[in-house]
Amino acid sequence: MALFNRKQNTRTATAAAVLEADPALAALTGDYTIDPAHSTIGFTVRHAMVTNVRGAFGDYEGTLRLDGGDPARSGASLDVRIASVDTGIADRDGHLRGGDFFDAERFPLMTFRSTAAERTGGDSYRITGDLTIKDVTRPLAIDLEFHGSATDVYGNERVGFEGGAEILRSDWGLTWNAALETGGVMVSDKVKLTFDISAIRSAPQA
């Protein structure tokens, strides 16, 4: 299913023609609200050079705008409350909220605002936008797979996406670390972000 068009130029117009939006998806056009009860916004970071620590944010709000007729007009917006970070260890979560990392009291939100989207093949897409952490805004590209649409048992129309991205946390001012006696550092600079999104279609306004 194609939700987004790849950007075209004269040399790629023929190939891009097969990536145009499927007319059958025009029915999905509309505004959607991300459902936190059935979604996950998580991350994975290397710890002590030997293992991974995983965490997630439990408090966030997000919206999607899907346009099946003109997929280039689709977009996404996400506000994440940093204080909701959860790695399963209270002391570690407190450290992440503090000044060494996110400084959640001064910078309570992490935000993403999309600026472009394209289909990369099949049900795979890439959405590009601005990620802001600690008042630092930098571009971020998220690779997503569209899992389709369904009507749940309560009559809600849903769409689903799953994907991820990799960032260097130092690009957003998250630079704390500690050297290990055996070489290397306590926390890797590279962080993997994961998104498993279920969004509910908003009721049309009267």
pLDDT tens-digit readout, 108-162: 999 999 999 887 877 888 899 999 999 999 999 999 998 989 999 999 999 999 9
Q: How far apart are the C-alpha atoms of 15 and 34, rounded to whole Å?
A: 33
DSSP label of 92: H
Structure tokens at 62: 């997000």
pTM: 0.86
Residue 184 to residue 168: CA distance in whole angstroms? 16
pLDDT tens figures, 152-198: 999 999 999 999 999 999 999 999 999 988 888 889 999 999 999 99
Burial of 78 (0-12, 13-18, 19+ CB in 10 A): buried
How many alpha carbons lie under 13 Å from residue 167 in its C-beta half-sphere? Answer: 23
Per the CB < 8 A criterion, the answer to whether 35 and 154 are in contact is no
